[in-house]
Amino acid sequence: MAVIEINDLSKSYRSGKAVDGVSLRVERGEIFGIAGPNGAGKTTVVECASGLRRRDGGTLRVLGLDPQSDRRELLQRIGVQLQEAALPDAIKVGEALRMYASFYDKPADWRELMDEWGLTDKRRAGFASLSGGWKQRLFIALALVGDPEVVFLDELTTGLDPSARRTTWGLVRTMRERGVTVVLVTHFMDEAEALCDRIAIIDRGRVVAEGSPDELIRRAKSDSLDNAFFALTGRETA
Binding site for ligand ATP (CB under 6 A): 13-15, 18, 36, 38-44
If one counts every other C-beta atom within 10 angstroms of the C-beta of residue 234, the result is 10
Report the nearest approach of ligand ATP to the CB of residue 186 (Å): 9
Judged by beta carbon, residue 53 or residue 198, the one nearer ligand ATP is 53
In the complex, what is the shortest distance from the CB of residue 207 to ligand ATP, in angstroms, rounded to a whole number? 12
Please, which residue, 111 or 206, has the CB nearer to ligand ATP? 206
Spatial strand order in the sheet of 198-203: 78-81, 150-154, 181-186, 31-35, 198-203, 206-211
**Minimum CB distance to ligand ATP smaller for 127 or for 188:** 188
Residue 174 Cβ vs ligand ATP, minimum distance, rounded to whole Å: 25
Q: How far is the CB of 84 from ligand ATP (least distance, A)?
A: 9
Q: How far is the CB of 165 from ligand ATP (least distance, A)?
A: 17
Q: Are 197 and 233 in contact (CB under 8 A)?
A: no
Buried-exposed string 68-79: b where 16+ CB fall within 10 A, e elsewhere: eebeeebbbbbb
Residue 160: HSE in the Cβ half-sphere, 13 Å Cα cutoff: 23
Looking at beta carbons only, is 18 or 216 nearer to ligand ATP?
Answer: 18
Q: Minimum distance between the CB of residue 140 and ligand ATP, rounded to whole angstroms?
A: 19
Residues 6+ apart with CB under 8 A from 47: 53
Question: Residue 9 or 142: which CB sits closer to ligand ATP?
Answer: 9
Strands (E), the chain: 2-13, 16-27, 31-35, 57-62, 78-81, 150-154, 181-186, 198-203, 206-211
Q: Measured between alpha carbons, how far is residue 31 from residues 83, 128, 180 in Å?
A: 18, 30, 9
